[in-house]
Amino acid sequence: MRFAHLSDSHLGSRQFGLLERETDFYDVFAKNIDKIIEKDVDFVIHSGDLFDNNRPSTEALLAFQKALLRLNEAKIPIYAVAGNHDSILRKGALPPQVLFKDIGLKLISDNNPIYTEGPVLICGVRYVPSSQSRALKSAYDQLSKIADKYLKSILVSHQGIDKWMHEDTHEIELSQMPKNFDYYAMGHVHNYVEEDFGKGKLVYPGSMEIWRTSESNENFREFGKGFVVVDLSYDKPQVERVKIDLPREFVRAVIDYNKFDEGLRDVKEKIQSLDNKPMLDLTVAGGDFDSADVYETIKETIGGNVLNLRPSFKPDKVLEEERI
């Protein structure tokens, strides 16, 4: 049995207030669904933050509805859990995913935490904040007892585990996770993570798009963005990383002010070679210069070739202060 695992699609995210970036998120999500259908999997798991907020726009809702109807046509069921972005942390409140239950979405929730696909248990917990970590641990323990009764089991959860989170931002420690599941379908961490754990595999597929500029990092360059296909027919699940091309690049460049004209020319050639206008983080460092004048030159030279320009300036006096 094979399934696709994806997470953190953040539909409706309008990065830096740019409509083009919101469209990018919809396009990437559609590409992921196209590839999932092409892979001919038995089912799909989405591990939270389907939407960027708990009151998604009409456009975001329609983007998911189109994807769900396509999966229905392909006879591929999808299971989902609410994440921190698309949850309303109030007793009795419902996440926006409930709108799609009647047209095929299988929502893993407090009221319905358990499903089965043939001999496979699919169970999980909606996002639980760190202030309720004791309740989260209790829910995991209850599901762990149920998992012992099944040949194969999958835990679906949108939580930050300490090993992959910044200090004191996690909801649970790795040592507190139950160890008897075959596959841990995790969400919340935007980098790609695949690790042997317990008797199976623990995977964060990562976000589908670059939601923060800091995600354009070494992890992204190695693993890209996308989803995984998991084969449960082995003693330990086999995980295939499936990369999806993003519509535009995040370019980071540093120009030595002492070679400013040459450096700016190189940056311009790079971004003009791209299919779509990129997001550009540009640092000018060294030398003695007026930041306002340099910014105007940059804007005039390459401003029309980028979707978003984020400049920073570090003349010699700033570099000296940083070294102190």
Q: At residue 251, what are phi and psi to the nearest 5 degrees? A: -105, 130
pLDDT for 214-271, tens place per residue?
999 999 999 999 999 999 999 999 999 999 999 999 999 999 999 999 999 999 999 9
Tell me the fold of 2-243.
Purple Acid Phosphatase; chain A, domain 2 (3.60.21)
CATH superfamily of 250-323: Response regulator (3.40.50.2300)
* Alpha carbon distance 83, 125 (integer Å): 10
Residues 167, 137 contacting (CB under 8 angstroms) = no
Which has the closest alpha carbon to 172: 214, 213, 125, 209? 125
pLDDT for 172-214, tens place per residue?
999 999 999 999 999 999 999 999 999 999 999 999 999 999 9
Report the DSSP beta bridge partners of residue 80. Answer: 46, 107
pLDDT for 110-159, tens place per residue?
999 999 999 999 999 999 999 999 999 999 999 999 999 999 999 999 99
* Alpha carbon distance 145, 141 (integer Å): 6
Cα four-point dihedral sign 175, 178, 180, 182:
negative
The full set of domain ranges for the chain reads 2-243, 250-323
Q: At residue 138, what are phi and psi to the nearest 5 degrees? A: -65, -40
Answer whether residue 319 shows pLDDT above 70.
no
3-state secondary structure of 94: coil
Across 299-307, average pLDDT: 96
Q: Give CA separation, 119 vs 112, 125, 199, 319, in Å.
A: 18, 20, 17, 61
Q: Which residues are catalytic?
A: 85
Answer whether residue 322 shows pLDDT above 70.
no
pLDDT for 61-77, tens place per residue?
999 999 999 999 999 99
* Alpha carbon distance 175, 191 (integer Å): 21
